[in-house]
């Protein structure tokens, strides 16, 4: 078990945040409490030296959540070897899980057989769940790259990482041709339609676009149309990261070229098939498409999302199509944007009607250049904690005391990341995506 006191650099960080938010002491108190909660309750060092990170009130590790939970620790890790070791342990654990099954999204800490073992897919006892989500492979590549950039260490970019990178490229290539080439199928029974895939587990029909297919969204809900635009954008960004790793660390020009070529194909697919003309907002990105004429116009709170495009590093915050998309997402034209007496923001079909997600509020703050807007959103998040001192998955826009998931570490750490951003503390500038800006759209 870890505490803030174990890492002296986190004490210094906490002091900086407390000073930077002194006009609103609750923000500093919540920051410290959430950092401590994540360290002491979700991070488990394994006997092999790797790091297993549970998502909170579910005792399993999601590849996506675990990377996001650790992300705020990246900056201080540059000054603390013990903290960097902890993050490297997570990269190694994620790498091992990808090599075990690159189609799985969530894992057990041992081959215990916990989780959704009755799903009709290629389960094994290590897997908690086997929903294929593009972002489950994006987040580990992003974390490995950012650990290198923040600390200078490359020991995690070893032969196992090299093998996992090869596997990821192969999967994304295969899933460009999902209809003909994919071995993946997934069915769950006696469940809502959002928890399973139609057509015998293959998902709705798609045609080739250059994009890569995803069975499920970062909410763990099934895609309506198989090309999930925000996740494909994230793939473009991390393929750029991988190309740099191949060039500067792995010394693998063949894999570097493959990563760059695949990124270009996916980007071309996004821009060719993923942009629609909206009668009110102009050219915007769709959330999903299928390559045969269907588009889903919405956004979901979970990241990758359309709102998070500049945070991911795909394009800059002032990009005209992003700006149009942002206005669409933060309006009632988005079926999952809700406005109530306590708050307004983006929710998800994963949670009840009129519930909005603190993760989306954090992303709204991380993708604006207006510092006062960042503070407004931080205060809103703090004021809607239902007196718990923690973030939740979602809450009712008219009554924050009605919420889902009392312990959801990803949301807690997104709150922490927004506070750090407000105080000018950010991960290394994104040097791949359009605009050459940092992860929050700032110059």
Task: Give me the pLDDT at residue 1, please.
Answer: 77
Predicted confidence band at 243 (pLDDT cuts at 50, 70, 90)? Answer: very high
- The average pLDDT across 205-221 equals 99
Question: Model confidence over 102-144: pLDDT tens digits?
Answer: 999 999 999 999 999 999 999 999 999 999 999 999 999 999 9
From the centroid of its chain, how far is CA 326?
18
CB-count exposure of residue 308 (10 Å: 0-12, 13-18, 19+): buried
pLDDT surpassing 80 at residue 405? yes
pLDDT surpassing 90 at residue 441? no
- Please give the structure tokens belonging to residue 400: 């924050």
Per-domain residue ranges of the chain: 4-427
Predicted confidence band at 434 (pLDDT cuts at 50, 70, 90)? Answer: very low
Predicted confidence band at 5 (pLDDT cuts at 50, 70, 90)? Answer: confident
What DSSP assignment string belongs to 365-387? HHT---HHHHHHHHHHHHHTSTT
What DSSP assignment string belongs to 61-119? EEHHHHHHHHGGGHHHHTT-HHHHHHHHHHHHHHHHHHHH-TT-SEE-SSS---S-TTS
Q: What is the pTM of this model?
A: 0.96
- Please give the structure tokens belonging to residue 292: 């045969």
Q: Does domain 4-427 fall into CATH 3.50.50.60?
A: no
Can the peptide bond before residue 344 be classed as cis, meaning omega within 30 degrees of 0? no
- Rounded Cα–Cα distance for residues 428 and 152 (Å): 12
Task: Give me the pLDDT at residue 429, please.
Answer: 58
CB-count exposure of residue 5 (10 Å: 0-12, 13-18, 19+): exposed
Question: Model confidence over 308-338: pLDDT tens digits?
Answer: 999 999 999 999 999 999 999 999 999 999 9
Give the alpha-carbon dihedral of 422, 423, 428, 433, to 10 degrees.
20
CA distances from 220 to 106, 126, 216, 303 (A): 10, 18, 6, 11
pLDDT surpassing 60 at residue 78? yes
pLDDT surpassing 60 at residue 365? yes
pLDDT surpassing 50 at residue 433? no
pLDDT surpassing 50 at residue 412? yes
- Rounded Cα–Cα distance for residues 289 and 4 (Å): 44
């Amino acid at each position: 078990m870890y505490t803030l006191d174990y890492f002296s650099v986190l004490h210094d960080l906490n002091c900086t945040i407390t000073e930077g938010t002194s006009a609103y002491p609750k923000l500093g108190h919540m920051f410290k409490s959430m950092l401590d909660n994540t360290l002491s309750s979700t991070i488990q060092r394994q006997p092999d030296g790797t790091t297993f990170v549970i998502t909170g009130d579910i005792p399993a590790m999601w590849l996506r959540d675990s990377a996001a939970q650790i992300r705020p620790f990246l900056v201080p890790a540059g000054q603390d070897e013990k903290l960097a070791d902890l993050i490297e342990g997570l990269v190694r654990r994620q790498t091992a899980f990808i090599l075990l099954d690159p189609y799985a999204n969530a894992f057990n800490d041992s081959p215990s057989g916990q989780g959704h073992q009755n799903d009709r897919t290629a389960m094994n006892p290590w897997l908690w769940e086997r929903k294929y989500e593009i972002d489950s492979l994006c987040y580990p590549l992003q974390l490995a790259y950012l650990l290198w950039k923040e600390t200078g260490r490359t020991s995690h970019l070893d032969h196992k990482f090299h093998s996992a990178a090869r596997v990821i490229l192969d999967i994304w290539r295969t899933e460009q041709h999902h209809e003909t080439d994919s071995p993946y199928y997934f069915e769950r029974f006696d469940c809502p339609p959002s928890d399973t895939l139609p057509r015998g587990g293959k998902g709705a029909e798609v045609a080739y676009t250059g994009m890569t297919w995803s069975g499920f969204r970062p909410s763990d809900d099934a895609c309506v149309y198989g090309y999930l635009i925000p996740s494909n954008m994230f793939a473009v960004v991390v393929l750029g990261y991988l190309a740099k790793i191949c060039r500067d660390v792995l010394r693998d020009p063949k894999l570097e070229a493959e990563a760059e070529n695949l990124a270009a194909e996916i980007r071309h697919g996004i821009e060719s098939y993923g942009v629609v003309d909206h009668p009110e907002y102009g050219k915007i990105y769709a959330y999903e498409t299928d390559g045969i004429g269907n588009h889903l116009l919405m956004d979901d709170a979970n990241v990758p999302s359309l709102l998070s495009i500049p945070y991911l590093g795909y394009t800059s915050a002032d990009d005209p199509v992003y700006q149009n998309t942002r206005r669409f997402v933060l309006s009632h034209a988005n079926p999952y944007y809700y406005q109530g007496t306590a708050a307004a923001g983006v929710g998800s079909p994963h949670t009840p009607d009129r519930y909005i997600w603190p993760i989306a509020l954090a992303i709204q703050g991380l993708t604006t250049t207006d510092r006062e807007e960042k503070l407004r959103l931080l205060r809103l998040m703090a004021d809607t904690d239902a007196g718990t001192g923690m973030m939740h998955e979602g809450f009712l826009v008219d009554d924050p005391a009605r919420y889902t998931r009392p312990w959801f570490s990803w949301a807690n750490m997104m709150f922490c990341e927004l506070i750090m951003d407000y105080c000018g503390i950010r991960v290394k500038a994104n040097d791949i995506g359009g605009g050459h800006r940092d992860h929050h759209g700032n110059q």
